């Protein structure tokens, strides 16, 4: 079955001191921002390769990132993350697949089940830290996200319960690791050594070694 699926990437402008702050002080704020930018670029490239009817960058910032060509830009409103995601899921008509910017290892294969079975009510991508990296709703409804406590170790469980309590048939995607800490970054880079993300991390590590030698 085919479906006209919109894929939205939720992202923020990769400014030093504003993104990936938990990668510091091991990385400088500028280094953390460059790693975040590379992660986002990898994610956008993956989404470009998906058989989506429409691609949306749900963006917090002013300067658009590399790789955003072909994406419709929808600027994030104010409020907590649950409110912003609720806004997104109310703003899009038709099936919507949400992808975060913190999983540069995401592949078209990881998201293939959504496109293979778009008739399913929902698809949920759990994150290793207890959150979620992806969410698909055949019939988007912002109230399914508003009020979910974000950035907690039970965020994913609460969000998934919201879906099942609403009577939705929920498919589960592979669990992925969000890049939040330096050990996370090293693990993810090892999974995708040819990625922009891994290259950015290697470059920063090499520069650090040189500066200390």
In a domain? residue 173: yes
In a domain, 146, yes or no: yes
| Domain total of the chain | 1
pLDDT digits (tens, 9 = 90+) for 105-155: 999 999 999 999 999 999 999 999 999 999 999 999 999 999 999 999 999
Distance CA 156, CA 153 (A): 7
Q: What is the CATH number of the domain that holds 24?
A: 3.90.550.10
Q: What is the pTM of this model?
A: 0.94
Q: And the tokens for 144?
A: 């399914």
Check whether 164 has a pLDDT greater than 60. Answer: yes
Residue 213 lies in a domain: no
Rounded Cα–Cα distance for residues 66 and 2 (Å): 29
- At a CB cut-off of 8 Å and minimum separation 6, what does 31 contact? 23, 204
Question: Is the alpha carbon torsion for 79, 83, 116, 103 positive or negative?
Answer: positive
* Residue 1 resides in a domain: no
In-domain check, residue 51:
yes
Structural domain contains residue 212:
no
What pLDDT band is residue 1 in, cutting at 50, 70 and 90?
very low
Structural domain range at position 36: 6-207
- The radius of gyration computed from the CA coordinates of the chain, to the nearest angstrom, equals 17
């Amino acid at each position: 079955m085919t479906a006209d699926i919109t894929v939205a990437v939720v992202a923020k402008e990769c400014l030093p001191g504003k993104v990936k702050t938990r990668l510091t002080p091991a990385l400088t704020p500028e280094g953390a921002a460059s790693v975040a930018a590379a992660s986002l670029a990898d994610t956008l490239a993956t989404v470009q390769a998906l058989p989506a009817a429409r691609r949306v960058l749900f963006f917090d910032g002013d300067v658009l990132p590399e790789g955003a060509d072909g994406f419709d830009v929808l600027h994030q409103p104010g409020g907590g993350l649950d409110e912003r995601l609720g806004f997104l899921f109310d703003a899009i008509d038709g099936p919507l697949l949400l992808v975060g910017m913190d999983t540069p290892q995401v592949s078209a294969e990881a998201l293939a089940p959504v496109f293979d079975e778009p008739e399913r009510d929902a698809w949920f991508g759990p994150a290793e830290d207890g959150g979620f990296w992806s969410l698909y709703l055949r019939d988007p409804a912002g109230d399914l996200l508003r009020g979910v406590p974000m950035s907690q170790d039970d965020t994913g469980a609460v969000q998934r319960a919201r879906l099942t309590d609403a009577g939705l048939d929920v498919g589960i995607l592979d669990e992925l690791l969000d890049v939040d800490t330096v050990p996370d970054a090293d693990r993810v880079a090892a999974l995708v050594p040819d990625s922009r993300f891994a290259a950015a991390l290697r470059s920063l590590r090499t520069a650090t070694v040189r500066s200390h030698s």
